[in-house]
């Protein structure tokens, strides 16, 4: 009897409304609130950045330079070999009557002749560097005319990596010869320094070539989202955003010492040195060993 009385009291307590500080309407089951999504389209369209006038002029100058035919004969022929023959044969064997493949081979042989250590030297580091650089220039001229050739783009990446390793090797073997080869091939004399160990304190960033480019690369990697190309509106009202910034010419004072104003600072060294004020100071190589950089394995 006591158990039945407590059960009835529990049922009546469950059916009675609970006291609450807010009066909410009773909820009903099997009712779903549908959320309406409005599809307004993309705010802007991503397109490739157009070539600037400066970049077009630079490409035209490069193609004009590659179109020049060097003086000489096809293959390894020399004028002394054809001195006793009919002049028409010499004219037929000249590079003016050669096709593109023979002209490219002649350019490579001319560079090899300048950098060979002996008459039949074809495997030394300077000769290999000359051959790879000539292939890179030929591929660059091809990619300017055919920008969608993805197979040649992959070949270009492989050749650039190979030339990078050859320049490192020649830099470590003979620095004077490395400077001469860069001058002959019109390459930038990059100051490499290959680490002997994988220790981060002794590691070297081979991406940075000079101080300004190194800073730009770090800034581009860290703040790419902040400094991305902003959307612009076309005259038709359509909004677009470039995937890359349009290529502009570097400033005239790029990677050169700049004049600093004389000023005082509460921190050490409490001012500007006279060399900085006069604009005569050394821009140190940022590829020197530093902590916090883990290089790619040297031996693959």
Same domain assignment for residues 61 and 180: yes
The per-residue pLDDT for 102 is 93
Show the tokens assigned to 17.
């409304």
Q: Tell whether the model's pLDDT for residue 292 goes beyond 50.
A: no
To the question of pTM greater than 0.75 for the whole model, the response is: no
Helix ranges (H only) for 192-293 are 211-222, 274-278
Q: Is residue 74 helix, strand or coil?
A: coil
Judge whether 177 lies within some domain: yes
How many Å apart are CA 124 and CA 116, to the nearest integer? 8
Judge whether 163 lies within some domain: yes
Residue 9 — pLDDT band, cuts 50, 70, 90? low
Same domain assignment for residues 167 and 276: no
Between 227 and 243, residue with greater pLDDT:
243
Judge whether 4 lies within some domain: no
State the CATH number of the domain containing residue 114. Answer: 1.10.287.10
Q: Tell whether the model's pLDDT for residue 293 goes beyond 50.
A: no
Same domain assignment for residues 57 and 178: yes
Mean pLDDT for the chain overall: 77
Mean pLDDT of 191-196: 59
Same domain assignment for residues 300 and 207: yes
Mean pLDDT of 163-176: 90
Same domain assignment for residues 230 and 181: no
Same domain assignment for residues 214 and 121: no
Judge whether 101 lies within some domain: yes
Same domain assignment for residues 116 and 67: yes
Query: Picking from 54-63, 70-79, 100-109, 263-272, which range would have the lowest pLDDT averaged per residue?
Result: 263-272
Residue 151 — pLDDT band, cuts 50, 70, 90? very high
Same domain assignment for residues 114 and 175: yes
Same domain assignment for residues 113 and 130: yes
The per-residue pLDDT for 285 is 54
Same domain assignment for residues 60 and 182: yes
Q: Helix 175-185 vs helix 150-173: angle between axes, to the nearest 10 degrees?
A: 140
Is the C-alpha dihedral spanning 228, 232, 238, 242 positive or negative? negative
Mean pLDDT of 203-222: 45
Round to the nearest angstrom and report the end-to-end CA distance of the chain. 88
Identify the burial level of 191 via C-beta atoms within 10 angstroms of its C-beta, where 0-12 means exposed, 13-18 middle and 19 or more buried. Answer: middle
Q: Tell whether the model's pLDDT for residue 47 goes beyond 70.
A: yes
The per-residue pLDDT for 220 is 47
The per-residue pLDDT for 132 is 94
Is the C-alpha dihedral spanning 202, 203, 208, 209 positive or negative? positive
Same domain assignment for residues 62 and 179: yes
Distances in Å between the alpha carbon of 9 and those of 20, 197, 238? 21, 82, 72
Q: Tell whether the model's pLDDT for residue 221 goes beyond 80.
A: no
Judge whether 273 lies within some domain: yes
Same domain assignment for residues 209 and 295: yes
Give 237-290 pLDDT, tens digit per residue: 889 999 888 877 777 776 688 888 888 888 777 888 888 888 888 776 555 545
Mean pLDDT of 77-100: 89
Number of folded domains in the chain? Answer: 2
Which of 151, 166, 190 represents a domain boundary (last residue)? 190
Judge whether 209 lies within some domain: yes
What is the span of the domain harbouring residue 166?
A: 53-190
Judge whether 44 lies within some domain: no
């Amino acid at each position: 009897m006591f158990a039945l009385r407590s059960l009835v009291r529990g049922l009546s307590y469950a059916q009675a409304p609970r006291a609450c500080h807010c009066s909410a309407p009773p909820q009903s089951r099997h009712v779903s609130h549908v959320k309406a999504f409005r599809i307004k389209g993309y705010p802007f369209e991503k397109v490739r950045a157009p070539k600037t006038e400066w970049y077009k002029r630079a490409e035209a100058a490069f193609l004009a330079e590659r179109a020049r035919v060097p003086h000489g004969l096809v293959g390894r022929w020399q004028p002394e070999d054809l001195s006793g023959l009919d002049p028409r044969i010499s004219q037929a064997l000249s590079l003016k009557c050669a096709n593109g493949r023979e002209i490219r081979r002649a350019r490579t042989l001319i560079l090899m002749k300048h950098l060979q250590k002996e008459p039949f030297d074809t495997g030394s580091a300077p000769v290999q560097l000359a051959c790879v650089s000539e292939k890179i220039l030929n591929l660059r001229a091809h990619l300017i005319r055919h920008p969608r050739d993805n197979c040649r783009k992959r070949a270009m990446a492989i050749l650039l990596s190979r030339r990078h390793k050859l320049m490192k090797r020649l830099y470590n073997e003979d620095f004077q010869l490395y400077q001469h080869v860069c001058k002959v091939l019109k390459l930038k004399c990059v100051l490499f320094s290959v680490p002997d160990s994988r220790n981060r304190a002794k590691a070297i960033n081979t991406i940075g070539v000079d101080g300004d480019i190194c800073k730009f690369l770090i800034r581009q990697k860290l703040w790419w989202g902040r400094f991305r190309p902003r959307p612009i509106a076309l005259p038709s009202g359509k909004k677009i955003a470039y995937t890359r910034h349009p290529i502009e010419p570097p400033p005239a004072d790029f990677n050169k010492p700049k004049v600093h104003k004389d000023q005082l600072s509460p921190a050490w060294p409490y001012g500007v040195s006279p060399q900085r004020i006069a604009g005569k100071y050394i821009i140190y190589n940022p590829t020197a060993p530093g902590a916090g950089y883990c290089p790619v394995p040297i031996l693959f």
